[in-house]
Amino acid sequence: MQIITLIVLLLFCKVSEFRKVRRNNDKPHSSKKISSTVKRYAPGLPCDTYTYHNEKYLDCQEKKQTSVLQDWPEDLIHILLARNQIRILKNNAFSKFQNLKTLDLQQNELRKIEKQAFFGLKKLSTLLLQHNRIKTLSEEVFIHMPRLTYLRLYENPWDCNCELESLVTLLQIPRNRNFGNYAKCESPVELKNQKLKEITPQVICQEEDDKPKPLEGTKPSRPSVDSTLCYTYLYPITTLDCRRKELQQVPDDISSDVIKLDLSNNKIKRLKSKEFKDVSNLEILNLSNNRIESIDPAAFSGLMNLQELDLSENNLSNFQYGVLEDLYFLKKLWLRDNPWRCDYNIHYLFYWLRHHYNVNYNGLECKAPEEYKGWFVGKYVRSYYEECPNERYQVHIGVDDDEWEQTEGAKTNSKQTDSSAKRGVLLTVLS
């Protein structure tokens, strides 16, 4: 009996040892299984990477992402981050993805986008920011994306105050027709549901702007101004001569075959949107010696063939952003004898001229404020960034600005502008 009892005990011990060994052998496998489950549902993981039509995509939609990860491949062409939990885009968030063409950030929780968040995205053409929580944004955010052609901003609670002025101005440039369509003000109450593309910067900055504002309300219909007072010449090129006719606005019946239009020595104060839309063949436009104070950003819209523009002897203090954007083939621009005001608003004109270095110009000299009176605008712009250590710009120009202006002035006086020397421009941004 004792022998039988011992045998049973031995059997129980063997069974117990076998179960223990089996349990130990199963532990790593079980641990891996649990780890895999955690990894699958951890925030931000995993993202799918695939190639379609030889372009690499990163699909991180609905992955509970809260930020942009720097371990994503650098050669991505399209990044899809829709329906995540991203709240802030910090500076240089996408700087390593220099080949990126499409960035989809719709339906996140974006509240803040730092000014250099999109730095390095020189090839980006499509940016989707709709259905977020963005209230205000500066146009500086988009300056790093020169190829951007498609921008979605709707379904954000836009606060239409003066901080939004630069963005509103950017959206209303004619060439940005696919920027911010359908985006509307959420506040203040009096502007609710008004489209950003239709609201005027003067309205949202009314309390902070010291300058007198145009009266709001129903605009009077534009009276018809015909060109019967002007003279038409067919040789050597088709010319409409409207000099000294006491005109207060541009005639609205100019023939479409006019190549040269002379409106000098009149009393025109403003250039309205699409003033020259029916004379797309125009190559020479003289608006000198008028009283022009402001030019609508779309005033020159459609003048694809314009080569010479004379705006000298007027009352211009700066150009609104976008005024020159349609003048792709402009070669000569006269700007002398205008009361140019050297503040931040003059930067657009200066950098447009620097970027379009084949355009010969003259007369860009500060008349106000008093501390910059007599300075060339290029000198003022350089001094502006020298005073901003966090945003210093180094501008290397083949010819000094003062020397260039003096040279161009001498060429104009001697009618030798056609032989002007070429200039090289390199703009380097130092962070």
- Give helix 347-355 / helix 377-386 axis angle, nearest 10°: 110
The predicted structure's pLDDT at residue 17: 56
Contact 323, 297 (CB under 8 A): yes
Whether residues 265 and 393 fall in one domain: no
Return mean pLDDT, the chain. 79
Q: What is the maximum span of the chain, computed from C-alpha positions, in angstroms? A: 137
Residue 180 lies in a domain: yes
- The structure's pTM equals 0.44
In a domain, 392, yes or no: yes
Residue 221 region by backbone torsions, left for phi larger than 0, else alpha for psi between -120 and 50, else beta: beta
pLDDT beyond 70 at 153 = yes
Q: How far apart are CA 226 and CA 232, in angstroms?
A: 13
When mean pLDDT is compared over 1-5, 167-171, 202-206, 233-237, the highest value belongs to 167-171
d(CA 421, CA 60): 52
Q: What are phi and psi of 206, to 5 degrees?
A: -60, -40
Same domain, 63 and 183: yes
- 79 with 165, same domain: the answer is yes
Q: What is the pLDDT of residues 313-352, one digit of tens each?
A: 999 999 988 899 889 899 999 999 999 999 988 988 988 9
Shared domain check, 112 and 83: yes
Which tokens go with 142?
């988009």
Arithmetic mean of pLDDT, 100-111: 94
Per-residue pLDDT at 45:
57
Percent of the chain with pLDDT over 90: 48
Q: Do residues 80 and 193 both lie within one domain?
A: yes
Residue with tokens 């120009």: 397
Of 298, 290, 224, give the one whose Cα is nearest residue 261: 290
Q: What is the pLDDT of residues 400-431, one digit of tens each?
A: 444 445 444 444 444 444 433 334 444 434 33
Boundary (domain end) residue, out of 145, 172, 204:
204
Strands 332-334 and 308-310: parallel
- Tally of domains within the chain: 3
Task: Tell me the residue range of the domain where 380 lies.
Answer: 342-431
Q: How confident is the model at residue 236 (pLDDT cuts 50, 70, 90)?
A: low
Q: Which of 10-14, 40-44, 98-102 has the lowest mean pLDDT?
A: 40-44
Q: Do 354 and 274 belong together in one domain?
A: no
In a domain, residue 29? The reply is: no
Whether residue 243 lies inside any domain: the answer is yes
Type and span of the H or E element at 14: helix 2-41
Percent of the chain with pLDDT over 70: 73
Give the DSSP H/E element, type plus range, for residue 86: none
Hey, what are 352's tokens? 């447009």
Please indicate, yes or no, whether residues 185 and 304 belong to a single structural domain of this protein.
no
How far, in Å, CA of 431 to CA of 160, rounded? Answer: 30
Which tokens belong to 116? 């250099």
When pLDDT is cut at 50, 70 and 90, the band that residue 70 belongs to is confident
- Across the range 23-37, mean pLDDT stands at 42
pLDDT at 234: 60
Rounded to an integer, the average pLDDT of 8-36 is: 48
Indicate if 329 and 363 belong to the same structural domain: no
Is residue 155 predicted with pLDDT exceeding 60?
yes
401 and 322 share one domain: no
